[in-house]
Structures are given as C-alpha cells and as structure tokens.
C-alpha cells in the first residue's frame, strides 16, 4: 500500500515541479488564468467519475480494485493520459493533459472525490522511501 501512495505523491510532485518551468509558455491551466477548453475538461471529469463508479462496482463484486483493462473503460478523452495504481486497500487515478505544457491533471481515489492539479511555483522536496532498505531519502524535485 505504501508503494502506490509513494508513486502517486512523486507523480504529483513531478507535475507540480514541471509546471514551474513552463508557466510562461502557454499553459492551459488555472495557474495563468487561462481556462482549459471547457468541453475537454468536462470530458476528462466524466472519465474520472466513470472510473470511480466502475471501481466501486468492481470492488463490491470482486473484493478488490481493478485495472483499467479489467474495468473495460472507454479510452480517455483526446489528449489525456490515464495512470491508475491499484493496491489492496484502494487505488489512485491521475488523468494528465498531455496537450498542456504545464501538466494540468485530475486526480481521484477510492473515496470518489475528483481533484484538479495545477502547477505550483513553490520549490518542492519529495521524501522517498527505499523499498529495499526501508529508509527515507530526501531528494530535490526539479
């Protein structure tokens, strides 16, 4: 369980850090005040909600959470890339906009709440745990 949580947190940190460098390069996210094309954003939110609903049903029927393949979900909206990490007690979903140079993304998990991720200008430090040694390691995220 810790492993998939660490992967999600690192992914969030990388998205945030990449946006810092690109904020002045035509970002489509809320950071610059520009709005993401509303129809694309709505399609992305609907995709995440559909995955959450399918996960609830899958978990009820099988006692575990499923992969996107197992859930038989339609493809993500054009320009969005899904990343689903499934664990014994939950899942984490990231739907990143590959067309936005800042890396706008939606996030959700087994609780069903959909979050919007936007880049930050704050320097971040990710705290990673080594799976082999069980010790924490601090590394700057560019």
Cβ atoms of residues 51 and 84 within 8 Å: yes
Does 31 map to a domain? no
Is the alpha carbon torsion for 65, 67, 68, 71 positive or negative? negative
The answer to whether the Cα torsion of 65, 67, 70, 74 is positive or negative is positive
Structural domains counted in the chain: 1
pLDDT reported for residue 120 = 75
Q: Which domain holds residue 98?
A: 2-24+37-140
Is 29 inside a domain boundary? Answer: no
- Sequential pLDDT tens for the chain (142 residues): 545 444 544 444 444 444 444 444 556 554 444 456 889 999 999 999 999 999 999 999 999 999 999 999 999 999 999 999 999 999 999 999 999 888 899 999 999 999 998 777 776 666 656 555 544 444 444 4
Is 107 inside a domain boundary?
yes
Residue 30 resides in a domain: no
Percent of the chain scored above 70 by pLDDT? 60
pTM for the full predicted model: 0.66
Phi, psi of 106 (to 5 degrees): -110, 150
């Amino acid at each position: 369980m810790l492993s998939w949580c660490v992967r999600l947190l690192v992914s969030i940190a990388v998205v945030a850090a990449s946006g810092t460098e690109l904020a002045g390069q035509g970002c489509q996210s809320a950071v610059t005040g520009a709005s993401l094309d509303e129809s694309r954003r709505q399609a992305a939110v609907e995709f995440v909600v559909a995955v959450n609903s399918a996960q609830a049903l899958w978990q009820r029927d099988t006692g575990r959470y499923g992969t996107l393949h197992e859930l038989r979900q339609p493809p993500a909206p054009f320009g969005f890339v899904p990343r689903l990490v499934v664990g014994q007690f939950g899942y984490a979903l990231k739907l990143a906009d590959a067309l936005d140079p800042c890396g706008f993304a939606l996030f959700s998990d087994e609780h069903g709440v959909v979050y919007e991720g936007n880049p930050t200008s704050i320097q971040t430090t990710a705290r990673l745990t080594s799976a082999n040694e069980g010790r924490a390691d601090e590394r700057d995220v560019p």
